[in-house]
Every structure is written in C-alpha cells, then in structure tokens.
Structure 1
Amino acid sequence: MNLNVPVDLHNSFKAATAAQGLNMSDVLTQYIRDYVEKYTVSGKGKGRRQ
C-alpha cells in the first residue's frame, strides 16, 4: 500500500509514534484492523447493525 501524505504530517506522525516507542507501520496496521472490524458487516455481531 502506498499512501501520500504531506511531509509535515508524516514527520509529526513519526515523532508522535516514536515518542510512544512505536513505529508508524504498527500503528497504521492496528488502525486499519480496528476500522475494518468496526465497519465490516458480518454475522458475528460486530460492525454495523443489519
């Protein structure tokens, strides 16, 4: 996946994640997992109501 973000936002995100001892890829991957879980319609009771 390629993502184009402004340089200043990239630098701020990198600094914020580093300050927490994390790396950008791990934080973004977790965000994507959370987003998919929240917005995926499934029969498992997660996501939007059907």
Structure 2
Amino acid sequence: MLGWALTFFIVAIIAAVLGFGGIAGASAGIAQILFYIFLVLFVVSLVVKLVRRA
C-alpha cells in the first residue's frame, strides 16, 4: 500500500514538473488517500497485535 502511494506521489511530481496540472493533482490526491489508508491499517494491526499479547 505504501509502495503504491509513493508511486503515485512520484508520478505527481513528474507531471507537475512537466506542466500537467490536472494529472499532477489527481495523482497527488490518490497518493494521499492511499497513504491515509496505509496509516489506518497500520494502526489497526498494531492494536490487534497488542490485544493478542495481553
């Protein structure tokens, strides 16, 4: 998940440098959504791991 977020972020940077504003904005939005999903899943997995230990 984090790899996909980084991929879309790199695509957004390249598109912004080349002047493709619409593609850059869309890629940055997708990267942001994927990053937040990654963070939520990471926190959930940490909580589940801590609950199973106890």
TM-score range, shorter chain: 0.3 to 0.5
* Bigger RCO (CA 8 Å, 6+ sep): 2
Higher radius of gyration, 1 or 2: 2
